[in-house]
Amino acid sequence: MIGLEIHVQLATKSKMFCRCPTGYDESKPNTATCSICLGLPGSLPVFNKKVLDYAVKLSMALNCTFPKETYFSRKIYFYPDMGKNFQITQNESPLSRNGYIEIDLNGKKKKIRIRRVHMEEDPAKLIHIGKITDAKYTLMDYNRSGMPLCEIVTEPDMESPEEARIFMNKLNSILQHLGIFNPDFCTIKADANVSIEGGERVEVKNISGFKSIEAALKYEIERQNKEMKSSGKIERETRHFETETGTTHTLRKKEAEADYGYIFEPDLPVITLETDYLAKMRDVLPELPDARAKRIHEQYKLDKSVADTIVLDKHLADFFEECAKKIKNYELLANWVLGDLLKCINYNSITINDVSKNGFMELMEFIEKEKISPRQAKEVIKVFVEKGTSPKEIVKKMGGEAITNDKEIEAVVKKVLEKNKKAVDDYERGNENSFNFLFGQVMRETKSRAHPDIVRRVLKKLL
Ligand SMILES: [Zn+2]
């Protein structure tokens, strides 16, 4: 059983309770601070309304329900990452509860329940010199202190690391569509509660980013299975995930929630969630992934699974829909976007936003009108994505548009057959591989400009 507690940093301009900027320079520690986010005595927090707007929108997208009133609490603890010795968070009255995210498991729908969503401030960043368990000293950077976070707590509804990955991908898409999370500078972190049959619950802390979740869970489940086999029990504990090694280590044994001694935060007002305010927020909610996937499926007549995949990345979906204004063979367009384009983007470690839409549409027009062969197109897209050169230029450099007339291809095929008498003999003796060899030679001779279907046809005829 896997449950997640996910901390999402909200993309507001200023911090949660002061005017310090959230877009500080990472290389300059302790520069974006003031008396409030340093927690100096006598300083008073002022709640940033944008944080509420964003958290409400997120709660709505997660199908949660709201109470009439919500307020902040102090989570009291002594640790150098929080100068005032308490963190402003929500405990007894979270912003919202009882939602869900629907995920798709190989065509089967499953609801992962959301227990609660609450707002809280991020503590300062501690940089342990060495490993957290044996660091000789620790540096403190208060720039992060007071950054706005939303914590999403799920029920333990996930049953495999893969499910957790699918859930996180869906959540990422929701956050992107809401426009409240900027992956370029916002962080997302998760703590995972993992238990196997017969064992106590183990909490794994410090899982950063979307990609680490699956790896952390895989490791921890394997570790618990081994432990169960050798000692017959799993103790309740908190463990720390180490990104570099992909392993988890004991931090604390048997820790209960009550240790924090929560009390009501008297320096901030109780927030009344007026019906009018909630209605206004619902009105400005953008189209969300589920609705968008349904629309893309219907509007462009694409397979539902293809639509679901496109929508997983908002920017990719935007890119697709922008190109679909001009390229009307939607299936072909989707195939190229999800296939070769994504492959080239990943290979060059860039994002879809780095790719020129006009350039890509130029290439798609070549492909749609069969002005270049599929093989040529595969070469063109590689250069286009890597160098940004216009496809027209690349095609020109590669020797021009596709050869689609039979006569011209026949001439090349004849020349190739003349040069490769042994392969022709082999083919006549029934060796199918020689056909592929001769096909390859023709493609090479035409610098892949020949249309492969015509080459195959002509080659068969002349052989
Ligand atoms: Zn501040």
Q: What is the pLDDT of residue 264?
A: 94
Count CB atoms within 10 A of the CB of residue 286: 12
- The percentage of residues in the chain with a pLDDT greater than 90, rounded to a whole number, is 60
Side-chain-side CA neighbours of 1 within 13 Å: the count stands at: 11
Q: What is the pLDDT of residue 258?
A: 59
CA of 181 to the centre of ligand 1 (A): 20
- Please tell me the distance from the alpha carbon of residue 335 to that of residue 381, in angstroms, as a whole number: 13
CA of 312 to the centre of ligand 1 (A): 35
Strand partners, 139: 127
Contacts 24+ apart (CB under 8 A), 129-133: 131/242, 132/240, 132/251, 133/240, 133/249, 133/251
CA of 34 to the centre of ligand 1 (A): 4
371 phi, psi to nearest 5 deg: -80, -20
Structure tokens at 193: 């509660």
Give the pLDDT band (50/70/90) at residue 31: very high
89 close to 125: Cβ distance less than 8 angstroms: no
**In sequence order, what are the residues at sequence separation of 6 or more whose Cβ sits closer than 8 angstroms to the Cβ of residue 330?**
300, 301, 302, 324
Q: Which of 213-222, 292-301, 390-399 has the lowest mean pLDDT?
A: 390-399
Amino acid in the structure at residue 347: Y
Whose structure tokens read 């020349």?
415
- Please tell me the distance from the alpha carbon of residue 16 to that of residue 10, in angstroms, as a whole number: 9
Angle at which helix 304-311 crosses helix 289-299, to 10 degrees, equals 130
Q: What is the pLDDT of residue 134?
A: 81
Q: Dump pLDDT digits (tens) for 38-74.
A: 999 999 999 999 999 999 999 999 999 999 999 999 9
Give the pLDDT band (50/70/90) at residue 347: very high
Q: What is the DSSP string of 310-353?
A: HHTSHHHHHHHHHHTTT---HHHHHHHIIIIIHHHHHHTT--GG
Q: What is the pLDDT of residue 454?
A: 84
263 close to 73: Cβ distance less than 8 angstroms: yes
Measured at the CA of 140, the angle between CA 136 and CA 145, to 5 degrees, comes to 150
CA of 28 to the centre of ligand 1 (A): 15
60 closest CA partner among 95, 86, 90: 95
Top pLDDT among 461 and 88 is at 88
Q: Which of 8-17, 257-266, 314-323 has the lowest mean pLDDT?
A: 257-266
Which residue ranges make up each domain of the chain? 2-186+256-281, 289-397, 406-462
Structure tokens at 6: 């996910």
Angle at which helix 357-368 crosses helix 374-387, to 10 degrees, equals 170
- Average pLDDT in the chain: 91
Buried b / exposed e along 311-322 (16+ C-beta atoms within 10 A): bbbbebbebbbe
Buried b / exposed e along 123-133 (16+ C-beta atoms within 10 A): bbbeeeeeeee
- Please tell me the distance from the alpha carbon of residue 280 to that of residue 416, in angstroms, as a whole number: 71
CA of 420 to the centre of ligand 1 (A): 77
- Whether 111 shows a pLDDT value over 90: the answer reads yes
CA of 33 to the centre of ligand 1 (A): 4
2 closest CA partner among 219, 229, 227, 175: 219
Q: Dump pLDDT digits (tens) for 213-257.
A: 899 999 999 999 998 999 888 888 999 998 888 899 888 876 665
Q: Could you tell me where the DSSP H helices lie in 107-184?
A: 161-178
CA of 4 to the centre of ligand 1 (A): 29
Give the pLDDT band (50/70/90) at residue 421: confident
Q: What is the pLDDT of residue 146?
A: 96
CA-to-CA separations, 249 to 22, 182, 202, 253, in angstroms, rounded? 32, 30, 11, 11
Amino acid in the structure at residue 442: V
CA of 92 to the centre of ligand 1 (A): 26
CA of 24 to the centre of ligand 1 (A): 11
Give the pLDDT band (50/70/90) at residue 448: confident
The class level of CATH for 406-462 reads mainly alpha
- Please tell me the distance from the alpha carbon of residue 207 to that of residue 234, in angstroms, as a whole number: 21
Q: Dump pLDDT digits (tens) for 129-181.
A: 887 778 899 999 999 999 999 999 999 999 999 999 999 999 999 999 999 98
pTM: 0.84
CA of 32 to the centre of ligand 1 (A): 7
Give the pLDDT band (50/70/90) at residue 429: confident
Q: What is the pLDDT of residue 76?
A: 92
CA of 286 to the centre of ligand 1 (A): 31
User: What DSSP element (H or E) covers 281?
Assistant: helix 275-283
At 250, is the secondary structure helix, strand, or coil? strand
Strand partners, 75: 87
168 closest CA partner among 107, 223, 217: 217
What is the rounded average pLDDT of the residues 421-436? Answer: 88
Q: What is the pLDDT of residue 252?
A: 81
CA of 19 to the centre of ligand 1 (A): 6
Q: What is the pLDDT of residue 432?
A: 82
Q: What is the pLDDT of residue 274?
A: 96
CA of 274 to the centre of ligand 1 (A): 29
Q: What is the pLDDT of residue 254?
A: 66
What is the rounded average pLDDT of the residues 356-361? Answer: 92
315 close to 351: Cβ distance less than 8 angstroms: yes
- The percentage of residues in the chain with a pLDDT greater than 70, rounded to a whole number, is 98
CA of 12 to the centre of ligand 1 (A): 14
